[in-house]
Amino acid sequence: MAGLTQKPTVIETDVLVLGSGIAGLSYAIKAARHGRVTVLTKKEDSEANTNYAQGGIAAVMDPGDSFEAHIADTLEAGAGLCDGAAVDLLVRSGPERVRELIEYGVRFTYERDRPGSLSLAREGGHSARRIVRADDLTGRAIERGLLDAAARAAVAIHEHYFALDLWVDEAERGPRCIGALAVDRETGEQVAVAARVTYLATGGCGQVYRYTTNPRIATGDGIAMAFRAGAPVANLEFVQFHPTALHPVEPRAFLISEAVRGEGALLRDGAGRAFMADYHPLADLAPRDVVARAIDAEMRRTGARHVWLDCSPIPATHFAERFPNILETCRSRGLDPPADPLPVVPAAHYMCGGVRTDLDARTGVASLLAAGEVACTGVHGANRLASNSLLEAVVFAARAADTTAKLLEQEAAPRGAPPRARPARQPDAADVEKLRGGIRDVLWMGAGIVRDDEGLAAARRSLAELSAAVPREPSSPEAAEVANLHLLGELIVRSAILRKESRGLHFSRSHPDPDPAFQRDTIIQPDQGKEHST
């Protein structure tokens, strides 16, 4: 694929997929049954948040478990904001989707003494063992299996292509997405990809925060592009911070899976006191938002830079068998669990909000679908239950593929004028990196684990001051990423300001209690700049 600097070449396909994680690849495999599928990914095909998922995929696979229990756990974690229909669909579709992943070739872990029985883990907020895993590298195993299946399905995957913006045709019925303008990261050449259906699977936006478990590519590109194209976004104030990232966290945090606490590890302060029972009846297996805030509170109380994760209750042989990747990484940093306690801190991990979609993955822009972390399906509400993320991605990717089959029967090939190429100017790399760091600091300080009215107002002012330095119509991936991060920062802060209560992942010192008046979604409409709740 190549394009000219002045006028991009138009490449035609039936379906354009942006992103190559579990949501993108599982969708692409199914969509390939209905037409030509082109996947653009801005890094290597395996570089995605999926690849870093340690814990696993939640699904009712044990006869002693039940759909009703999984649904109840999800609703409890969501703090009153989950969409009941979406949760029901998620949970009841889970076993079929897991079996499908196995058919694709994903190698999950099985019990040694029970051939054919999946080795299920338990994580925070779950009432049963229902985490299907591949040791502690589940994401990597899923990514590898899906890449092999995508190759067999003749899905065309193009690495190092960065989508600068969606290609939108303003029709009488409203905006319709007819593809995207992209740039080759290696050559700088621009290309317009025309598609009858465009599907966003671009993942989250953890890089908007100073400390994050997400890779550097997680810059919220899909949410930003969809918003600019006219799609409403929802619940962006609900950012999940993983409670236990290994300290120190730079340049990218390495997370210690919740499954470690599921096997018996305990959080302790510097004096050795196990403190989680002070914060929740489930103690160390409390939902993530509770654990992250408890750690933050203990660090503030004592002035410590981290707390300790005591893994000694787990037998050494069991730890090595269950968490080989964590053990290897810790040893590379001079730590030897379970004998050594691990220094841990919270870090930004997952966006529970996103581009607003219905149960069929449709967004507010015609012919534009979305699934995975980029989307807000209503499943997570105010807080995601552990390991529901990979499940949500594969369940709603399947729904999106069904929607795509219908759209391909209805939609003609795009006929809108191709987008003009952007001037190939490159802002100073040092300036872009400085701006990126400034945005991340503003969000960490003003819209982090604990917020208040004063801090959010200051964050909004700081982002407004930084806006003059944000590149306009960027043509380089680095400049486009920082523009997307700035927009995401503004949307997160605006959403948090609107919610005058504390609920789930949004905790405000200025409004410390939940308010029934805010038991509703926070929606920002891009067309008129409106902000409201429904």
Active-site annotation, residues = 288
Q: Which residue has the tokens 């489930």?
A: 282
Going 219 to 225 to 227 to 228, the CA torsion angle's sign is: positive
498 close to 447: Cβ distance less than 8 angstroms = no
Going 100 to 118 to 19 to 221, the CA torsion angle's sign is: positive
Query: Distance between CA 178 and CA 172 in Å, rounded?
Result: 15
Coil/strand/helix, residue 492: helix
Q: What is the DSSP letter of 208?
A: G
The per-type count for the chain, helices as H runs and strands as E runs, is 13, 19
DSSP-assigned states of every residue in 76-133: HHTTT---HHHHHHHHHHHHHHHHHHHHHT----B-TTSTT-B-EE--TT-SS--EE-
Q: Which two tokens stand for residue 498?
A: 């609107």
If DSSP states are collapsed to H, E and C, what string results for 439-469? HHHHHHHHCCCCECHHHHHHHHHHHHHHHHH
Within 13 Å, how many C-alpha atoms sit on residue 89's CB side? 21
Q: Kindly report whether the peptide bond that precedes residue 343 is cis, defined as omega within 30 degrees of 0.
A: no
Q: Which two tokens stand for residue 473?
A: 């119509």
DSSP-assigned states of every residue in 234-291: E-TT-EEEEEEEESS--SSPPB--HHHHHTT-EEE-TT--B-GGGT-TTGGGS-HHHH
135 close to 323: Cβ distance less than 8 angstroms = yes
Within 13 Å, how many C-alpha atoms sit on residue 479's CB side? 21
Query: Distance between CA 141 and CA 123 in Å, rounded?
Result: 19
Q: Kindly report whether the peptide bond that precedes residue 95 is cis, defined as omega within 30 degrees of 0.
A: no
- Please state at what angle helix 138-152 crosses helix 388-410, rounded to 10 degrees: 20
Radius of gyration of the chain (CA): 22
Q: What values do phi and psi take at 533, rounded to 5? A: -120, 145
Q: Which residue has the tokens 């300790």?
A: 308
Query: Distance between CA 60 and CA 112 in Å, rounded?
Result: 20
Q: Which two tokens stand for residue 112?
A: 């040694």
